Amino acid sequence: MKKIIAIAVGALLASGTGAALAQQDAKSLATGVCAACHGPEGHSISPVFPRLAGQQAAYIVLQLDAFRSHARGDPNAQAYMWGMASQLSDATMKALGDYYAAQKPAHEKPEYPDLLAEGKKIYTEGIPVQNVPACASCHGPKAEGAGAFPRLAGQHTDYLVAQLQGFQSGLRSNAPIMLGVVKTLSPEQMKAAATYAASR
Ligand code: HEC
Ligand code: HEC
């Protein structure tokens, strides 16, 4: 049965690039494939797998494209997403972005409550002495994101921390803006900013 479904999805994907077909593809992929890791409607359980519910559609498309071209190449991206994205057409990526953007975002409790106040300060004011800009200036006052700037609100805190570490170490090297932002952040400051952003 599983094999039959896999073949059916493969056939669907190969058979065209029209917008209506892409939308059909996106729905069956989201529920039949992506949900295995990202959860039903993009509500994943493990922080290894980012939540996609309510994420900005444009950001999702940019990331899928970066996985497909191998531009986003941190170890988890390579292990999980390179193969996944290699099969997707531009039209299907766009439909997947629209599908997940339309899902209701999750709520994340403050993961490191002791760091919440410090995180709020970093998020809203930046750290001028370290040349760190306010996260709010791009990710929005409620961390809702906009277009190419991802939603951080409702994301797993530990996923956000891992990404900040990835920017700083250069493992996720295709994001020049964020490479500049995180340059001088300490591990505690990353956890603090992530805790505040995720819990909006
Ligand atoms: C086998 C597990 C797995 C499957 C199946 C999977 N993903 Fe992923 N996905 C991941 C992991 C792990 C990451 C985080 C990669 C990283 O840490 O860089 C990720 C990251 C992403 C991101 C980036 C999110 C962000 O906040 O930057 C998008 C978008 C995404 N996946 C979409 C999809 C779509 C659409 C599908 C189905 C076509 C899918 N994924 C299927 C494991 C999976
Ligand atoms: C000048 C604009 C800008 C500022 C300021 C900024 N960001 Fe970002 N951020 C971005 C962009 C653009 C991306 C998407 C990068 C990409 O396309 O890979 C991003 C991505 C991220 C991600 C990865 C999200 C995911 O789903 O994978 C995290 C985490 C993040 N930013 C946290 C922060 C924090 C914390 C701050 C403040 C200390 C901050 N950002 C300040 C523009 C900004």
Report whether pLDDT(2) > 50.
no
Q: Using CA atoms, how far apart are residues 60 and 99, in angstroms rounded to an integer?
A: 10
- Please report the atom of ligand 2 found closest to the CA of residue 182: 38
> Which ligand has its closest atom nearest to the C-alpha of 125?
2
pLDDT digits (tens, 9 = 90+) for 163-190: 999 999 999 999 999 999 999 999 999 9
Q: Using CA atoms, how far apart are residues 100 and 38, in angstroms rounded to an integer?
A: 10
Distance 139 CA to ligand 2 centre (A): 7
Confidence at residue 87, expressed as pLDDT on a 0 to 100 scale: 87
Question: By CB neighbour count within 10 A (0-12 exposed, 13-18 middle, 19+ buried), where does 12 fall?
Answer: middle
Confidence at residue 140, expressed as pLDDT on a 0 to 100 scale: 98
Q: Using CA atoms, how far apart are residues 9 and 114, in angstroms rounded to an integer?
A: 47
Report whether pLDDT(9) > 90.
no
User: Half-sphere exposure of 22 toward its Cβ, with a 13 Å CA cutoff?
Assistant: 16
Which residues line the pocket of ligand 2, CB cutoff 6 A? 50, 62, 122, 132-133, 135, 137-139, 148-150, 152, 160, 163-164, 175, 177-178, 181, 193, 197
